[in-house]
């Protein structure tokens, strides 16, 4: 299995920023949990503890009623 890693390049001297946490509607929590578990099990994402740069997930519902995650860095 080949591991592909994405790196976000950050300009030197840029101030670190954490977006304010956005709440998610409780009815979406099972869908989010299912999708996150799928991505974690496939090693597409992994848990990072104590990050100083945080962006909120943007949830988009597909026509098939599934959801996709997007991040705007």
Looking at residue 61, its pLDDT comes to 85
Looking at residue 1, its pLDDT comes to 62
* Of residues 47, 39, 54, the one with CA closest to residue 8: 54
- Per-residue pLDDT of the chain in tens (73 residues, 90 and over written 9): 677 777 777 788 888 777 788 888 898 889 889 888 988 898 888 887 766 777 788 888 888 888 888 876 6
Would you list the domain boundaries of the chain?
A: 26-71
Looking at residue 72, its pLDDT comes to 67
- Phi first, then psi: give them for residue 59, nearest 5 degrees: -95, 130
Looking at residue 35, its pLDDT comes to 87
Give the global pTM: 0.63
């Amino acid at each position: 299995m080949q591991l592909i890693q994405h790196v976000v390049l950050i300009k030197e001297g840029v101030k670190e920023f954490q977006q304010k946490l956005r709440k998610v509607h409780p009815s979406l929590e099972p869908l989010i949990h299912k999708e996150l578990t799928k991505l974690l099990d496939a090693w597409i994402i992994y848990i990072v503890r104590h990050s100083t740069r945080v962006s909120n997930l943007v949830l988009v519902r597909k026509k098939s009623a599934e959801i996709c995650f997007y991040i705007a860095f």
